[in-house]
């Protein structure tokens, strides 16, 4: 819909506000063509795209909400400001 509004605006400016004589192109005719394309695009959007989006939204609203996971018990967390000394666990494969 935004593209159609933009094309309609540009077409109206070219058709009604720009008064330039160009030998190759009729600027007013280009503006009218852009306005027609904008109206056709808006009609296609309203007739085809919007009903599909509305149907997809209705299907999504009918689906049940996913179950929430059970809350976890709080766990001890490590922080970089922890002042306890690090002691590695003993390894059984070390040679004495």
Neighbouring residues of 12: CB distance < 8 A, sequence distance ≥ 6:
31, 35
Which residue, 34, 26, 29, 28, is CA-closest to 10?
34
Q: How far apart are CA 40 and CA 42, in angstroms?
A: 5
pLDDT at residue 15, rounded to an integer: 93
pLDDT score of 64: 67
Q: What is the pLDDT along the chain (96 residues), one digit of tens a residue?
A: 889 999 999 999 999 999 888 889 999 999 999 999 999 999 998 888 777 766 666 666 666 666 777 677 666 666 666 666 666 677 766 555
One DSSP character per residue, 20-69 reads: ---SS--HHHHHHHHHHHHHHHHHHIIIIIHHHHHHHHHHHHHSPPPPPP
């Amino acid at each position: 819909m935004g593209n159609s509004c933009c094309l309609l605006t540009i077409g109206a400016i070219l058709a009604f506000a720009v008064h330039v004589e160009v030998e190759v192109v009729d600027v007013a005719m280009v503006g009218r063509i852009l306005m027609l394309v904008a109206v056709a695009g808006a009609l296609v959007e309203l007739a085809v795209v919007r009903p599909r989006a509305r149907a997809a939204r209705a299907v999504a609203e009918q689906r049940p909400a996913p179950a929430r996971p059970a809350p976890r018990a709080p766990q001890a967390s490590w922080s970089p400001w922890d002042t306890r000394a690090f002691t590695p666990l003993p390894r059984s494969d070390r040679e004495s």
